[in-house]
Structure 1
Amino acid sequence: MKSCSGWRRFLICLPIIFFLPFMFSVLELHENSYIEKLPKNHGNKFNHLVLGPAAGQGLHDRLQCQGLKPLNKTHLPNMSGVPDFKETVSFLTVFTIYNTSVSAHVEDRSTDMVTVGNALYNKIERSMAVLNGFINFIQVSMPQSNIIILTDPASNFSIHKKRVTVFPIQGEYSRDRLMLQRIKSYIAFLTTRLEELSQGKDEIHHYIFTDSDIAVVDDLGHIFYNYPKFHLALTFRNNKNQPLNSGFIAVRGTSDGILRAKSFLQEVLDIYKSKFMKASRMLGDQLALAWLVKSHLSFEAKRFTKSQVFLEDIGGTSVLFLPCSLYNWTPPEGAGQFHGMPLDVKVVHFKGSRKRLMLESWNFYNSSASVGISDMLCLILMSGRTKYDF
């Protein structure tokens, strides 16, 4: 075969020169990935764990993995760097199940079934598995913390684990009003806590309100120790319309902290009901949070563009802003730009169909004594672009 020579042949070969690197990168992706062909009815979602290259390779401030082993990070539980921090941190989440009970659906296992590992789940069992995963991760990373499940009194389920309590709060827990009810439940709980403090129960309990589809992978007690002046903490990201995520809200457990946090959340609730009820099923609370924060003239929205902790007075409430990249990190789903997992991530948020990845991650961590948190984070990182069937 004759080699390309001269301008004409050079121009003919030029597209091939540019195409070769792309072709090799695709081959490398297939070499390093495990992707099975799925039935057509699954669309573009997978019903098993899919691993690909770990994003963020070569970036100094991102987790580097070789297979499922971390190269630049040792992530140990209970190593918050605050050895003398003795105050209790409690996690709270709003959780309910529909159709009254788990037992009512034990027989109906033929519809909408999902297999994760060796377990088979229907919709309700899936929700319970995610809740148990939420509890399990906290009890590994912060074993001395309490977990409180805020729920509908009519919701029939039970949790048999140490340091876990179910706290019924009357309200409207329908799917269309759940995000609205979540804020109401937070306010109701804080009201109860204020009453207890007024009766002389002065032991300090700090509170972190979260979604139930998160994994706490490091001790969060340092938030209250290192930033002693905040009343309420929120997580932010560089997103113009939705810069604040409501899936993580921390409240200092002093009387002043609880009172001001309660007043702040009441204002969010009022804004929610007056301006964003059309988004009551989803996002309304986040839109209300952003509206309240941005409405203060002294606030500079450009601070959301930098992943740095900062403190701001919002109507008399001292609000600590924590970057989502560390305290509310979400694995990207599907295609898109993705720069990997930041070092020292504290909380991983498995939104949407990523809940399969949450259960798979816990199963992997629990599979062997030799598997650590960092190994599990590599598993999450290598699965971060995949859409699953949850």
Structure 2
Amino acid sequence: MLSGMKIFSGWQRFVFGLPLFFLLAHLFSVMELHKNSKVEEPQKQLNKKFDHLVLGPIAGQGLSNRLQCQGKKALNRTHSSESRSGVDGSITFVTVFTIYNTSSINDMDDRSNTIVGNASYNKFGRSMALLNVFINFIQVAMPQSKVIILTDPASDLSVQRSRVSLYAIQGDYSRDKLMLQRIRSYIAFLETRLQELPQKPGDINHYIFTDSDIAVVDDLGQVFRDHPNFHLALTFRNNKAQPLNSGFIAVKGTPEAILRAKLFLQEVLKVYSTKYRNASRMLGDQLALAWVVMSNPHFDPTRFSKALAFSEDIRGTSVLFLPCYLYNWTPPEGAGQFHGMPLDVKVVHFKGSRKRLMLESWNFYSSSREISDMLCLILGSGRTKYDF
């Protein structure tokens, strides 16, 4: 009996002690949560997206062959082509773009809109504004060139611009498959060009396939004038994991070059679909490009470390490698790691969290009409994240 009472007494102390235990545990958790919130708060502030440009120190000041700026005013001028290369009118820019006007209550709500300058955009309007600015820059730098937009036949896209046309290609344009579809669309487009060539003998038209978030700021005709023997051109950077960027691909307009470019891209598509299918949403195309190029046994990858153009035979295709430094330059975000902007930059790529900057740059150019001053704005604005 006494033993039973001792057991009951011990059990009673355990039961009545439980609330105190849970109370202490709860207080400890609250204290930890409060402590962690203090640590995470600055991080949240750092990741905050701004609704305006934030200008900062401009990289490259004092370095030769770099744009020199005082605020948004250029102190020297970029090497814009003073005389055309003679091939402006025979160049067509090709981009993949699709949009679905799924207007909803949120799209109509002013609170969900984005303000850039004096304009307010919903999601649909932002995409269309970027496409129009893409066309605007091309028509300023290369007014005789044409633009073809490869799109989904089911898309709501409508563009009423001179020297701009739509070309519908059936495929899977969903967000998760868009990069994969882009390569397929390029191949399908080149196949149609091959079929049309016999009907237009002697009519050579060169093609530049690009992302729609680039700004052409100088005449690109010199690529075809200065490098007459390549089939396909890619842009490279000094990056071991992703040395090639797919946002700029040039194809010479001869029958042999178009055929070789098509076969090359078919090989890229094959590698993309097998080795990098899990990266179909993004990066897979660049990884596949790098694999096709660097699997060539005689290729020297150390050539990517120098910003100099070079050519290489890759599986029967003469590939011209152009430095991103000039043909696919991306504004740095915060670190100024590109040591400024080259004076002879040809293409600015507003990839990632730089979309607002693309619109802001066009608005600034529209008021100043000076490409060099606009480039100062771009160079000084990579200080924070300001995507839509």
TM-score w.r.t. structure 1 length? 0.84
The answer to whether residue 261 in structure 2 is matched with residue 261 in structure 1 is: yes
**What SS does the aligned partner of 1:281 have?**
coil
Deviation at 1:353, TM superposition (A): 1.6
| 2:363 is the alignment partner of 1:363 | yes
Match of 1:378 in 2: 376
Deviations 1:19-65 (A, max 9, x none): xxxxxxxxxxxxxxxxxxxxx88943211111112111111121111
Deviation readout 1:287-327 (Å, 9 max, x if unpaired): 00000000001100000000000010001100000000100
Residues 1:328 and 2:328 aligned together: yes
Partners of 1:57 and 1:340 within 8 A in 2: yes
Say yes or no: does 1:388 pair with 2:368: no
User: 1:29 maps to which residue?
Assistant: none
- CA distance 1:336–1:54, change in 2 (3 Å): closer
Match of 1:339 in 2: 339
Q: CA deviation at 1:105?
A: 7.6
The higher radius of gyration belongs to: 2
* d(CA) in 2 for partners of 1:106, 1:256: 50
The one-letter amino acid paired with 1:318 is S
Separation (CA, whole Å) in 1 of partners of 2:105 and 2:186: 29
Change in 2 beyond 3 A, CA 1:74/1:342: closer
Residue 334 of structure 1 deviates from its aligned partner by: 3.6
2:62 is matched with 58
| Contact map agreement 1:178 1:281 (CA 8 A) in 2 | yes
- The SS at the match of 2:353 is helix
Query: Cα gap change, 1:248/1:180 in structure 2, threshold over 3 Å: closer, same or farther?
Result: same
Counterpart-to-counterpart distance in 1, 2:79 and 2:166: 31
| Secondary structure in 1 matching 2:348 | strand
1:110 Cα offset (Å): 3.9
Q: What residue is the counterpart of 2:309 in the other structure?
A: 309
Choose which of 47, 55, 74 in structure 1 pairs with 2:51.
47
1:67 aligns with 2:80: no
Q: Are the aligned partners of 1:92 and 1:209 in contact in 2 as well (CA < 8 Å)? A: yes
Would the aligned equivalents of 1:113 and 1:123 in 2 still touch at CA under 8 Å? yes
Within 5 A, what are the aligned runs for 1:191-206? 191-206=191-206
One-letter identity of the residue aligned with 1:66: Q
Deviation per CA, 1:113-161: give whole Å up to 9, x if none: 2110011111111111110010000000000000000000000121111
Partners of 1:149 and 1:167 within 8 A in 2: yes
Deviation string 1:90-111 (CA, Å, 9 cap, x unpaired) is 00100011xx327678962346
Q: Distance in 1 between matches of 2:117 and 2:200?
A: 49
More helix by share: 2
1:229 paired residue number: 229
CA distance in 1, matches of 2:106, 2:204: 41
Give the distance between the partners of 1:360 and 1:95, measured in 2 at CA: 21
Aligned partner letter, 1:69: K
Q: Counterparts of 1:121-136 in structure 2 under 5 Å?
A: 121-136=121-136
Superposition pairs for residues 57-206 of structure 1, below 5 Å? Answer: 57-76=61-80, 79=82, 82=85, 84-85=86-87, 88-97=90-99, 100-101=100-101, 108-110=108-110, 112-206=112-206
Amino acid in the other structure paired with 1:209: F
Q: Would the alpha carbon gap of residues 102 and 220 (structure 1) be closer, same or farther in structure 2, given more than 3 Å must change?
A: farther
Is the 1:91–1:210 Cα contact (8 Å) retained in structure 2? yes
Q: Report the residue type matching 1:65 in the other structure.
A: C
Q: How do 1:14-29 residues align onto structure 2 when only pairs under 5 Å count?
A: none
CA 1:323–1:86 in 2, change beyond 3 Å: closer, same or farther?
Answer: closer
Amino acid corresponding to residue 268 of structure 1 in structure 2: V
Distance 2:45 2:110 in 1: 17
Taking structure 1 as reference, are residues 340 and 292 closer, same or farther at Cα in structure 2, changes over 3 Å only? same
Letter in 2 for 1:217: V
Identity of aligned residues (%): 69
Query: What are the ranges of 5 or more consecutive residues in structure 1 without an aligned counterpart?
Result: 1-39
CA RMSD of aligned residues (A): 1.9
2: distance between equivalents of 1:53 and 1:181? 40
Q: 1:268 to 1:80 in 2, by over 3 A?
A: farther
Contact residue 78 and residue 343 of structure 2 kept, 8 A: no
**Distance apart, 1:242 and its partner CA:** 0.3
Which SS does the other structure have where 1:303 is aligned?
helix
Distance in 1 (alpha carbons) for counterparts of 2:78 and 2:239: 31
**Is the alpha carbon distance of 1:42 and 1:86 closer, same or farther for their aligned partners in structure 2, counting shifts above 3 Å?**
closer
Equivalent residue pairs, number = 345
| Contact 1:237–1:324 (8 Å) recurs in 2 | yes
User: What's the secondary structure of 2:355's corresponding residue?
Assistant: helix
Equivalent residue number for residue 276 of structure 1: 276
| Runs of 5+ unmatched residues, structure 2 | 1-43
